[in-house]
């Protein structure tokens, strides 16, 4: 009976605990005919430190470009990215004989551009600071089966076509080349435009009037290259790398990227020319990667600070926490574990508040240290059994009940040590978790809102947490035992 009652009683007890910090009288508040549940609270110490993130899993993320100096920590971070373009299956264009040709019966694309649409809510910096970037054509597609982290450099890995398309442009987050009457329209979206209208020579040595003309010509000469994204990427457009050149203080986030070109055609028995556009977008169906470069010297100074711990994104610093698993298990060897809670208090920035202070991460993921890479590579979600999420509230990240991961770690050590007495030394991370800044995507239905995915946060953020080698973190534990009447 006692075993069957534990789960139900635990739920009731935890509900009571969530309403009050006073656990002194809980043990006598739950009674049954034959049993009395005695609850006991205890507090243990966890220790935390800052660790370098080094790199994070970045496949299929939003695209950021820029270089920023954190005004609080004086550390730099630079973001660049590579993207391919999605070709819709069997993309329809007019019959070739309906195209408006240039003299000599040659296929003609009028203009070709790449449009970069800003997500202004996620951009950082002065909107009038010029940003200069290079657009570099890839010589071959990056493999879709490879696992890419933020330290992967397509340039260093030899993916850039040395004699390929290269274009340099400058832009600002507010595009003042448009009149106010245009920019004030509700349909207007800020964007940067990269013209690709110069002559283009493909890898076989054939020259076209522009990059759009290269695509249009091959559409009719090799329709098999356009049947889907895989064929398009592997035969026509392997992708582009967007390289940061100049523009300290700005980080631009692009919500949408399009490769587009225009052409003219006519209808049967109609002498009028019509203009149309072929648009290929950077979507989740094709590969996107991000290259992040952090100022390691500045980060190492923060990591060595013993007075607190840091969280920095993108790919900057995580907080490592050593949980008191042995204390929790062996101080109360005959009691059942009901709940384990831990809170991390944020330290307010000593820098005066200004528009360019980086914000604190909204959500932290707690994940066992040895599971960090597989969690993101396998696109897992937190399960509240081994992994947990906490949102910033009242300047604190609180994990209300991590008893699941505590029990798993205790069990792993117990089983492992029976097999190998040196198990702990061979598994030094057995009792460690990491706090990682993440972006949580939610799906809302008529009845509820649920978190559908969790990814490494690429957006700029930073915060300090109470902790470090001289400031242990309280771990609050509640146990239960049955006492016969």
Cis peptide before 314 (omega within 30 of 0): yes
* Structure token digits, residue 393: 């509230």
Give the span between the Cα atoms of 283 and 261, in whole angstroms. 18
What pLDDT is stored for residue 477 in this prediction?
98
| Three-class secondary structure assignment of 40-52 | EEEEEEEEEEEEE
Give the span between the Cα atoms of 405 and 121, in whole angstroms. 36
C-alpha torsion 11→14→20→23, nearest 10: 110
Q: Give the residue from 34, 42, 41, 43 showing the smallest Cα distance to 482.
A: 34
What pLDDT is stored for residue 267 in this prediction?
80
Give the span between the Cα atoms of 321 and 366, in whole angstroms. 9
What pLDDT is stored for residue 4 in this prediction?
42
Q: How many CA atoms lie within 13 A of 412 on its CB side?
A: 19
Give the span between the Cα atoms of 57 and 372, in whole angstroms. 10
At 160 the three-state DSSP class reads: strand
Q: Do residues 257 and 83 make contact, with C-beta atoms less than 8 angstroms apart?
A: yes
* Structure token digits, residue 386: 């081994």
What pLDDT is stored for residue 104 in this prediction?
64
Give the span between the Cα atoms of 332 and 363, in whole angstroms. 32
Q: Do residues 27 and 42 make contact, with C-beta atoms less than 8 angstroms apart?
A: no
Can you tell me which residue has the tokens 């003219």? 264
CA 49 to chain centre: 23
Domain residue limits, the chain: 40-53+296-479, 76-294
Q: What is the pTM of this model?
A: 0.89
What pLDDT is stored for residue 59 in this prediction?
76
What pLDDT is stored for residue 97 in this prediction?
86
What pLDDT is stored for residue 37 in this prediction?
79
Could you list the beta-strand ranges (E) of 355-460: 363-368, 388-393, 396-399, 432-444, 449-456
β-sheet bridge partners, residue 439: 455
Q: What distances in angstroms separate CA 8 from CA 5, 13, 31, 41, 424, one per listed residue?
A: 6, 9, 13, 19, 34
CB neighbours of 15 closer than 8 A, spacing ≥ 6? none
Q: Do residues 220 and 208 make contact, with C-beta atoms less than 8 angstroms apart?
A: no
Q: How many CB atoms lie within 10 A of CB 266?
A: 15
CB neighbours of 474 closer than 8 A, spacing ≥ 6? 43, 44, 45, 46, 342, 343
Backbone angles phi, psi at 218, to 5 degrees: -70, -25
Q: Give the residue from 254, 251, 258 showing the smallest Cα distance to 84.
A: 258
Alpha helix stretches (DSSP H) within 202-317? 211-221, 229-235, 296-303
Q: Do residues 155 and 139 make contact, with C-beta atoms less than 8 angstroms apart?
A: no
Q: Give the residue from 330, 311, 277 showing the smallest Cα distance to 392.
A: 311
Could you list the beta-strand ranges (E) of 94-208: 109-118, 131-137, 166-171, 191-195, 200-201, 207-208
How do the pLDDT tens digits run along the chain, 485 residues long?
Answer: 444 444 445 555 555 454 444 444 333 344 444 457 789 999 999 999 999 999 999 877 789 999 999 998 999 999 999 999 999 998 889 988 888 887 765 888 999 999 999 999 999 999 999 999 999 999 999 999 999 999 999 999 999 999 999 999 999 999 888 888 888 888 888 999 999 999 999 999 999 999 999 999 999 999 999 999 999 999 999 999 999 999 999 999 999 999 999 999 888 766 788 899 999 999 999 999 999 999 999 999 999 999 999 999 999 999 999 999 999 999 998 899 999 999 999 999 888 778 899 999 999 999 999 999 999 999 999 999 999 999 999 999 999 999 999 999 999 999 999 999 999 999 999 999 999 999 998 888 777 888 889 999 999 999 999 999 999 999 999 999 887 64
């Amino acid at each position: 009976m006692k075993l069957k009652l534990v789960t139900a009683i635990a739920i009731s007890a935890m509900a009571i605990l969530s309403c009050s910090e006073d656990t002194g009288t809980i043990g006598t508040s739950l009674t049954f005919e034959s049993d009395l549940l005695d609850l006991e609270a205890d507090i243990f110490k966890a220790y935390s430190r800052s660790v370098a993130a080094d790199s994070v899993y970045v496949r299929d993320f939003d695209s950021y470009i820029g270089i920023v100096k954190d005004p609080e920590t004086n550390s730099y971070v630079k973001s660049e990215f590579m993207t391919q373009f999605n070709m819709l299956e069997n993309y329809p264009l007019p019959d070739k004989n309906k195209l408006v040709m240039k003299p000599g019966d040659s296929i003609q694309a009028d203009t070709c551009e790449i449009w970069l649409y800003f997500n202004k809510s996620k951009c950082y910096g002065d909107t009038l600071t010029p940003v200069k970037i290079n657009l570099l054509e890839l010589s071959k597609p990056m493999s879709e089966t490879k696992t890419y982290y933020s330290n992967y450099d397509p340039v260093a890995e030899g993916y850039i076509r040395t004699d390929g398309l290269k274009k340099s442009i400058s832009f600002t987050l507010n595009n003042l080349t448009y009149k106010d009457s245009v920019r004030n329209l509700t349909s207007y979206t800020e964007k940067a435009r990269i013209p690709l209208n110069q002559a283009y020579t493909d890898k076989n040595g054939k020259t076209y009037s522009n990059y759009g003309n290269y695509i249009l010509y091959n559409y009719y000469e090799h329709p098999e290259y356009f049947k889907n994204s895989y064929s398009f990427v592997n035969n026509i457009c392997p992708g582009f790398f967007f390289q940061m050149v100049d523009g300290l203080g700005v980080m631009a986030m692009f919500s949408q990227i399009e490769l587009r070109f225009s052409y003219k055609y006519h209808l049967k028995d109609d002498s009028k020319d019509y203009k149309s556009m072929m648009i290929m977008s950077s979507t989740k169906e094709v590969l996107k990667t991000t290259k992040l470069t952090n100022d390691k010297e500045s980060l190492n100074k923060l990591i060595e600070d013993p007075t607190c711990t840091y969280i920095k994104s993108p790919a900057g610093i995580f907080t490592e926490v050593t949980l008191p698993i042995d204390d929790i298990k062996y101080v109360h060897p005959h009691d059942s574990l009901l709940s384990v809670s831990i809170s991390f208090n944020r330290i307010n920035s000593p820098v005066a508040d200004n528009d360019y202070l980086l914000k604190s991460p909204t959500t932290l993921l707690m994940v066992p240290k040895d599971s960090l890479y597989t969690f993101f590579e396998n696109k897992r979600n937190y399960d509240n059994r081994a992994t947990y999420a906490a949102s910033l509230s009242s300047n604190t990240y609180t994990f209300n009940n991590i008893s699941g991961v505590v029990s798993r770690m205790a069990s792993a050590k117990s089983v492992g040590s029976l097999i190998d007495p040196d198990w702990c030394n061979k598994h030094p991370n057995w009792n460690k978790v990491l706090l990682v800044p993440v972006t949580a995507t939610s799906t809302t239905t008529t009845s509820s809102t649920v978190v559908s995915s969790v990814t490494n946060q690429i957006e700029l953020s930073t915060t300090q947490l109470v902790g470090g080698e001289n400031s242990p973190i309280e771990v609050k534990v509640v146990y239960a035992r049955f006492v016969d009447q």
